[in-house]
A and B are shown apart, each in its own frame.
Chain A
Amino acid sequence: MLSLKNKRLVILGIALIAIGFLAFIIQVAGSHPERAWQAYLINFLLWSAIAQGGLLFSVIMHLTKAKWCGPLTNVSEVFAAFFPISFALFLILFLGKAHVFPWQHMDLHGKEVWLNVPFLFFRDGVALLILYGLGFTYLFYALQLKAIGAATGGRLRSFLDQKMGINPDVTRIHQRMSIFSVLYALAFAGVLSLIGYDLVMALDPHWISTLFGAYQFVKAFYVGLGGMIILASALYLTQGDSTGLTTTHFHNLGKLFFAFCLLWADFFYVQLVVIWYGNIPEETAYVIERTMVPPWNFLAWVVFIVAFVLPFFILLNKNVKTKPKFMMVLSAVILVGIWLEHLLLVGPALSHGSRSLPLGLWDGLITLGFLGLMIFAVVYFLDEFPELKRFQPAVEKR
């Protein structure tokens, strides 16, 4: 039962958060604060991406007027609950600026105009606000439709009920949803590119790749789908059919997941082949450090296998896609793979010239903290909007 009434779940969540927090504090206070901030940055990026990508699903389904998704939109919308946390985490990142922006003391050959801490935090903060704002506005209307004639929920929910009055104008709501879904989709592309450039690519300020932004938001949707599969499975396994989820839904979701696994790999290869072929050191040095020189080349292979090869061959098969339990595990593994992929991108820049992989128990513990936050957010939201656990066909336009 995914609910705050579920004591075990709550305790688990709190425990995780506590562990993560402590681990982080200890390491920051310790001899290697940069390691703590590295883990922090990676988790911030990953978990935010899950949330942002998660909501994107619902948006796209709305835009394409897709019927097959059914209650999956519910699942996707739940992830919006992480937005406020994500933004808070971003603000906290400011404390670690000394460790997460290695370019602060480099000769940037004129890049200073763009790469300076105040401007960076300003623009990225604003960008995130816009993205999340649009997300919530979209959600606001989406939930109105779902809430019609549904059981009452928490405070937020009642606030929403007041907002929309007795019987809302469904057509108008649909229009608004359309508008904000477009806006959110645009913002998603723009903002995630920006975050990608600023918080990942720029860590190695002399390297550029025009596709990097797109690569980031495609990856975000990839992990978003992963998160959805996990949550959907969790709901399905706990609540069963009341969620309205069927194996067909899992199958379709699995197909989409597979598609984006391929797309992510494609975007990776597309960058690799161009850089490899061009052989211009300004570009190649970055890739060489991460794929050919130990210790990172090992990690590169791990990421490649865990995040692409494995899912590719498994998801070729139709049946596994329809097995929630299995998909849950697979998705979790892939998310770990993407976590490592983030490490591969930021690691060499942050802990420069390290003989061994800057990866250890601490990173795991800190990550658990973020997991706790996500669980907490999700469960809270589900309590607020119980209809998201229950499926009734969305009200059509009159």
Chain B
Amino acid sequence: MSDLTYAKIDQTVLDTLRPATQVYWFTVALLAVGMLGGLACWIYQIFIGIGVGGQNNPVAWGTYLINFVFWVGIAHSGTLISAILHLFHAGWRNPIARAAETMTVFAVCTAGLFPFVHLGRAWMVYYMLPYPNQRTLWPNFQSPLMFDVVAISTYLTVSSLFWYTGLLPDLATVRDRSTGLRKKIFTILSMGWTGKMEQWRHYTRGYLFFAALATPLVISVHSVVSWDFALGVVPGWHTTIFAPYFVAGAIHSGLAMVLTLMIPLRKIFSYEKIITLEVLENVAKTIILTGLIVGFAYGTEFFIAWYSQNSIEIAIFKWRALGHYKVGFWIMVVCNTIIPLLLFIKKIRRSIIWLFVISIFINIGMWFERFVIIITSVARDFIPHAWGLYWPTVVEMGIMVGSFSLFFFLFVLFVKHMPSVSMTENKEMLAEGESHGA
């Protein structure tokens, strides 16, 4: 980023906020339709009964939980990039941190919907809130689902605050470069930020603590999600490795999604100068790492299942790999652990197309990982007489499409109306770059 200047950075970013084209609005409309479609499916489900989905006995959890875990996973890399890498002073995070955080916030919102969609009596969901009440009916804080409630809501709150805090200086920048209504809005949003050194003094410190707190949080959140399964006794669920394994998996999928989002964004908004190839390459490298961890986890599960000589454990893992859902299993293995290995090759790592394609594969693979874990385990647990199979229905698919539409809808709206790349942090990096002379 040699020939970059503050002005250039500002320009590039502010250009993205110029009035949108018809293509853009068409896309937005399309996504809105998809969203409403999902909503319609949900309403239908509420009136007819959850049975319109494919869940049954024994597989009482279906795509709703799969998508929940999937979206929470997507959310994670955002925080990883903005928080953990911030602590490690990894400069390459700055160009993509904003978009990643945005992704996090919206992904958590999307994920947060699914537990409701999943409920048999969604209208009774407030039973899960610890609100004081006359008959002292309280939720059960021993339940993994309550951990979810606490963790996810915390995560949503924290990541949004973190995100907004990061936006603050940029909001001011936009404010100072706009007129009319937008100026008014951004004036309020930027809370009168004027970049006084006095403000910066606290800001930098606070931001650091944000990062320091978000890091353990992000780990805990997906651990908690994993415990929705691991705390049970179901073979294939009840295993100690789940927490770290899910965290790694979450970041794996999240990073893939970052690439999936960044590569078009970079192209459309011509961010090439800011989001350089090195940045993407670094993301790719991180993907290799997470991919290896996930692979390690797969391997460990099988090894221990065999080592334990517990017939039930062995049976379930055999069935995963060779049984009714074996296709899903092999999609998961290939997409999540084999394909990412391609990134060891520098050529591929530095080819936009390859990166994009691979990122798509990983997204698919991670969706199927959740499918395999959630479905196969309960489909054949302890009592053979009660075994059964599951396949999603149209309604479930509709809701799933709706969730994707919702996510992209929000994201598309954001990138066009807010600075999708952090100007401040990139300027900062520029400054440091000069001082360090590298």
A residues with a Cβ closer than 8 A to B are 64, 66, 68, 108-111, 114, 186, 189-190, 193, 197, 208-214, 262, 266-267, 270-271, 273-275, 277-280, 282
Neighbouring B residues of A271 by C-beta, 8 Å: 240
Given contacts A270-B244, A274-B238, contact A186 B292 (CB under 8 A): yes
CB <8 Å contact, B223 and A270: yes
Specify the main secondary structure of chain B where it touches its partner.
helix
In the docked arrangement, what's the CA distance between A273 and B240, Å?
A: 9
Nearest opposing residue in chain A for B215, CB measure: A259
Neighbouring B residues of A211 by C-beta, 8 Å: 240-241, 243-244
- Contact partner, A68, options B89, B243, B296, Cβ 8 Å: B89
CB <8 Å contact, B216 and A208: no
- Contact partner, A274, options B240, B304, B310, Cβ 8 Å: B240
The answer, yes or no, to whether B230 is at the interface (CB within 8 Å) is yes
CB <8 Å contact, B239 and A274: yes
CB <8 Å contact, B232 and A210: no
Specify the main secondary structure of chain A where it touches its partner.
helix
In the docked arrangement, what's the CA distance between A210 and B300, Å?
A: 6
Q: Which chain B residues (297-314) contact chain A, with CB distance < 8 Å?
A: 300-301, 304, 307-310
CB <8 Å contact, A208 and B227: no
CB <8 Å contact, B233 and A208: no
Neighbouring B residues of A193 by C-beta, 8 Å: 300
What total count of A-B pairs have CB within 8 Å?
A: 67
Given contacts A189-B296, A274-B230, contact A267 B242 (CB under 8 A): no
Q: What are 7 inter-chain pairs, A to B, with CB distance below 8 A?
A: A111-B309, A209-B304, A211-B240, A212-B240, A214-B244, A214-B300, A275-B240
CB <8 Å contact, A208 and B238: no
CB <8 Å contact, B216 and A278: no
B residues with a Cβ closer than 8 A to A are 88-90, 216, 219, 223, 227, 230-233, 238-244, 292, 296, 300-301, 304, 307-310
Given contacts A273-B227, A277-B231, contact A262 B242 (CB under 8 A): no
| Least distance between B237 CB and chain A CB atoms (Å) | 9
Nearest opposing residue in chain B for A266, CB measure: B219
CB <8 Å contact, B304 and A208: yes
Given contacts A214-B244, A278-B231, contact A110 B238 (CB under 8 A): no
Nearest opposing residue in chain B for A282, CB measure: B310
CB <8 Å contact, B301 and A210: yes
Neighbouring B residues of A197 by C-beta, 8 Å: 307
Neighbouring A residues of B304 by C-beta, 8 Å: 208-210
Neighbouring A residues of B90 by C-beta, 8 Å: 64
Given contacts A193-B300, A274-B230, A278-B233, contact A210 B239 (CB under 8 A): yes
CB <8 Å contact, B216 and A262: yes
Nearest opposing residue in chain B for A193, CB measure: B300
Neighbouring A residues of B292 by C-beta, 8 Å: 186
In the docked arrangement, what's the CA distance between A321 and B199, Å?
A: 28
In the docked arrangement, what's the CA distance between A39 and B88, Å?
A: 38
CB <8 Å contact, A270 and B307: no
